[in-house]
Amino acid sequence: MPKSDPEKGEKVLRNRIQKAVEDAYKQGVVEGVLPDVSLPASHQVVPTKQEVHGDFASNLAMITASEAKRSPRELAGCLAKILEPNPIFHKVDVAGPGFLNFFVTTTWWQENLCTIWEAGDSYGESGAGNGRLVQVEFVSANPTGPLHVGHGRGAAVGDSLARVLKAAGFSVEREYYINDIGNQMRTLGASVYLRYLEYFGQEVEFPKEYYQGDYIRDIASGIASGEGDKYLDMTQESCLTFFIDTAVKIIASDIRKDLEEFGVRYDNWFSEKTLHESGLVDRTISELQDKGYMFEEQGALWFRATALGDEKDRVVKRSNGVLTYFASDIAYHRHKLERGYDLLVDIWGADHHGYVARVKAAIKALSYKEDKLQVLLVQLVNLLEGGKIKAMSTRAGEFVTLREVLDDVGSDAARFIFLTRRCDSHLDFDLDLARSQSQENPVYYVQYAHARLSSVFRNAGEQEISLAEPQDIDVSLLNTSEDIKLLKQLDVFPRLVADAALALEPYRVSYYLTELAGQLHGYYTRHRFITDDPDLTQARLLLADVTRRVFRKGLGLLGVSAPEKMCKRSQGTASALLSDT
């Protein structure tokens, strides 16, 4: 058994093939069989989509054809002849309009398994991010009520993205921005105050625009039982701060608990209030004033966003002297930028897309490059039940909370489903599907693959079979088409993670895992891992071990558990979600 070769891995293989093709062209020129043209930079060696096209394809013949004044197929034929003897190929084909198709030897894939094994639990990680420091800010829901399902999607996307970035060699921090100041807070405090009065039997008129949810009553009665009736004698104005602070504290801590139950932990909880208290908001505004990015009109102070790519100028301070939230946002992003991150990722609801241009304008005004900030807009979630959309009215406290969904379908199913779509596409979250303990539920499909492999090792343990050192294993026994397909799919993993990180698209991981699970299940029904032949058993256990690790790692990137056994959870009650109808 040859030792593993550090020169292996999918990326290396591709680069090697690309170089081989280009060298072959030069050799052809020297030998006089190919016309002397400059090799275009657009030459690419790419993985193929179909098996019949081999493992990789080159488009060199097609893109040089017009300059070379020869037919692509003819050029490809010459190249193929030169490349054919290369030992990493067992075949080089000319196909279609002039593609070169490369079939890598099975030996390469088999030996590559040892390379993967040696990477251990770090397999899938890479240095694609070069240690660059990224901050991901997500959810950041106002602490005026519990999180709803839409926030859940943002949480799943943000957290998983952070995990993927970390695996791809970025340093990552997660941040939650708490809007704990401003008009909404006054409304929140006043809402609690009125419920507090009600608690003590006072007749109050509860305005429509106040927060209607029952949780407001809970907070009020909590205050009543903890602090008694001492606020009854005070004016609303004099005790409002207390009600605001208490309500925010309770709601924020509930939000935090919900998120933790969802597997999301933050490095920083950043308070908007502190931006004002430290004077950063005022300081930033006056600096932008000095730079000429501010002007006054009709008594208000405006940020000249149109000078920097936005369609409108934006108010920073209203004529009544009150700062807008945008003023805080400018200061907040400045604060983030000054903390030295190489990249800021903001994850917002799609309804905030009008905000992107103005915040980017602010970043430019602060003399930073606008691409320091990447905004991901997460589209709305439609909750489906019984094939119908459950309408969510944000007003009047009628919404399905994240907690209800978690209690109903569990964190794993919820996270997986949130991560099966690109974030800019609308997501139909089918509760019946998420709840179902069987076939249709995509999360179990992947988890079951992991559980099956775990079960194989449990059985091996019972038979006192343990995995030998890979160098003592004959990997050439992994020679069925299912073996080779699995080996190839495993090989793709690190590149997939790196690409997902660079594209800021964590959902790619769930696609990959679903595909890998399909291959594993197919393998499982056709072949046994534990066989009568000890050598074959060792080879297959090595494959099983590596595959299992990829599942564990991949599920970890989604924040989904990788169970050793599948066990039915107690059926959640559907009625819990219908309480608002």
Partner RNA sequence: GCCCCCGUAGCUCAGGGGAUAGAGCACAGGAUUCCUAAUCCUGGUGUCGCAUGUUCGAAUCAUGCCGGGGGCACCA
* Interface with RNA in residues 155-174 (CB under 7 A): none
Q: How far is the CB of 286 from RNA (least distance, A)?
A: 19
- Distance, CA of 17 to CA of 56 (rounded, Å): 8
Nearer to RNA, 441 or 547 (CB): 441
Rule CB under 7 A: is residue 437 a binding residue for RNA? yes
Rule CB under 7 A: is residue 481 a binding residue for RNA? no
Rule CB under 7 A: is residue 452 a binding residue for RNA? yes
Rule CB under 7 A: is residue 343 a binding residue for RNA? no
- Contacting RNA (CB under 7 A), which of 5, 31, 229, 428? 428
- Distance, CA of 539 to CA of 521 (rounded, Å): 18
Rule CB under 7 A: is residue 269 a binding residue for RNA? no
Rule CB under 7 A: is residue 522 a binding residue for RNA? yes
Would you call 569 helix, strand, or coil by DSSP? coil
Nearer to RNA, 136 or 427 (CB): 427
Q: Which stretch binds RNA (CB under 7 A): 103-111, 152-160, 262-270, 446-454?
A: 446-454
Q: Residue 115 is inside which H or E element, if any?
A: helix 106-119
> Which 59-98 residues touch RNA, going by CB under 7 A?
59, 62-63, 65-66, 72, 95-97
How many residues does the structure list for the chain? 581
Angle between helices 354-365 and 325-338 (to 10 degrees): 50
- Distance, CA of 489 to CA of 30 (rounded, Å): 38
Alpha helices in 149-265 (DSSP H): 149-167, 183-199, 214-227, 236-261
Rule CB under 7 A: is residue 524 a binding residue for RNA? yes
Q: Residue 388 is inside which H or E element, if any?
A: strand 388-389
Nearer to RNA, 7 or 311 (CB): 311
Rule CB under 7 A: is residue 425 a binding residue for RNA? yes
Nearer to RNA, 63 or 400 (CB): 63
Residues 47-66 as x/- pattern, contact with RNA by CB under 7 A: -xxx-xx---x-x--xx-xx
Rule CB under 7 A: is residue 360 a binding residue for RNA? no
| DSSP category for residue 350 | G
Rule CB under 7 A: is residue 410 a binding residue for RNA? no
- Distance, CA of 336 to CA of 533 (rounded, Å): 60
Rule CB under 7 A: is residue 393 a binding residue for RNA? no
Rule CB under 7 A: is residue 501 a binding residue for RNA? no
3-state secondary structure 41-108: CCCCEEECCCHHHCCEEECHHHHHHHHHCCCHHHHHHHHHHHHCCCCCEEEEEEECCCEEEEEECHHH
Rule CB under 7 A: is residue 567 a binding residue for RNA? yes
- Contacting RNA (CB under 7 A), which of 354, 391, 471, 481? 354
- Distance, CA of 149 to CA of 429 (rounded, Å): 9
CA-nearest of 260, 125, 163 to 555 is: 163
- Contacting RNA (CB under 7 A), which of 101, 135, 246, 284? 101
Rule CB under 7 A: is residue 309 a binding residue for RNA? no
- Contacting RNA (CB under 7 A), which of 232, 307, 380, 396? 380
Q: How far is the CB of 145 from RNA (least distance, A)?
A: 12
> Which 310-339 residues touch RNA, going by CB under 7 A?
311-312, 315, 318-320, 322, 324-326
Helix and strand numbers (H, E) in the chain are 19, 15
CA-nearest of 283, 73, 259, 266 to 152 is: 259
Residues in contact with RNA, counted by CB under 7 A, come to a total of: 86
Asked whether the beta carbons of 200 and 224 are under 8 A apart, the reply is yes
User: Per the structure block, which two tokens stand in for 484?
Assistant: 């080779």
- Contacting RNA (CB under 7 A), which of 105, 171, 445, 479? 445
Nearer to RNA, 227 or 297 (CB): 297
Nearer to RNA, 94 or 113 (CB): 94
Rule CB under 7 A: is residue 182 a binding residue for RNA? yes
Asked whether the beta carbons of 248 and 143 are under 8 A apart, the reply is yes
- Contacting RNA (CB under 7 A), which of 422, 485, 488, 495? 422
What's the N-to-C CA distance of the chain in angstroms? 66
Nearer to RNA, 17 or 62 (CB): 62
